[in-house]
Amino acid sequence: MLNILEELPSGLLDVAADGLHELLGGPSLIHLPGREPAPLFVSVLLHGNESTGFCAVQDLLRDYRSRELPRALSLFIGNVAAAGAGRRYLDTQPDYNRAWPGTEFADLPEVRMMQQLVDIMTARQAFASIDVHNNTGINPHYACINRVDNRFLHLASLFSRTVVYFIRPLGVQSMAMSGVCAAVTIECGKPGQAHGTQHARDYIDACLHLREIPEHPVASHDVDLFHTVAIVKIPETVSFGFGPVDADLRLVEDLDHLNFRELPADSVLGWGRDGTEPRLSVCDDNGVEVFDRYFRFDNSSLVTCRPFMPSMFTLDETIIRQDCLGYLMERLLPE
């Protein structure tokens, strides 16, 4: 499935994301030389409807058309078929950012491809790894890590002082690459926003200019570190909507405005229909159901029962069904 190229294909810097499938034919890994030989590994379009990373790389490489990159770059352009359809992934595919080593998926062609990518970047002694994403809710730009390690924190804080540590879901790029080199996921807001593209472009360029990643601790005042403690999903059997709708579960219509706000206990997030109590699925890092730790029903109102900070809460019903409603976080202080 994987195309491996040693130079930029003609037209790559001018094509829109939805034209990549026709241009490339499938997922492609492109190795470009630079002054420093250990490559920066950048993955974009693991979700086909998240175009900011690809646009950022296009902008960056246009600037380097006539000059040498400061460091070798290995660029993985992922789910081009889904990009052509403007979707996260196609019905016939697994999620490209749940199929990396450590995945819960069975042996699929995509799973074997992601293992191949990790093997290639291990052999090339990757310097660092960046996976670029968008999200659908209202969120700040932030970075994610899967190890609370000084190098990872330095790499993340170069993008944003807001850093999220998580170990679920499984099978994500940054977790697989964390065994090879310092690895981060960067979340660049909604797709199509110029400031998100510029931020990602500038960050990748800054990482290409790094000679090394510091190993000393990050100053505590330079980073706000959070730990994702649970993932929230809506069971398939529960109908839902936002605001005044006829559904089993009515969620507050501005739910995505709660992202990265520390909610106190007793905050109301929704209501069951006709006095019912439709439960959410809330699982911790170990996959254990923990709904009662974070929520309760009070006269059919869905209420928080302890303080936490939501992230990636979204109003996009397709994303909610394909992935999740969002995540719950708590502050984590570096040791």
Encode pLDDT of 237-286 as tens digits. 999 999 999 999 999 999 999 999 999 999 999 999 988 999 999 999 99
Q: Per-residue pLDDT for 84 more than 60?
A: yes
Total-model pTM: 0.94
Query: Is residue 154 located within the same domain as residue 257?
Result: no
What pLDDT shows up at residue 275?
Answer: 85
Tokens 């929230």: give the residue: 232
Looking at the 3D structure of the chain, how many domains does it have?
2
Query: Is residue 207 located within the same domain as residue 305?
Result: no
Average pLDDT over residues 112-128: 98
What pLDDT shows up at residue 334?
Answer: 52
Burial class (CB within 10 angstroms; exposed 0-12, middle 13-18, buried 19+) of 27:
buried
Last residue of a domain, one of 188, 206, 222: 222
CB atoms within 10 A of CB 326: 24
Spatial contact of 125 and 38, defined as CB atoms under 8 Å apart: yes
Query: Is residue 214 located within the same domain as residue 234?
Result: no
Query: Is residue 27 located within the same domain as residue 12?
Result: yes
Residue 272: give the domain boundaries: 229-331
Query: Is residue 214 located within the same domain as residue 261?
Result: no
What pLDDT shows up at residue 117?
Answer: 98
What pLDDT shows up at residue 185?
Answer: 98
Helices (H), the chain: 20-24, 52-63, 80-85, 109-123, 150-157, 173-177, 194-209, 291-294, 317-322
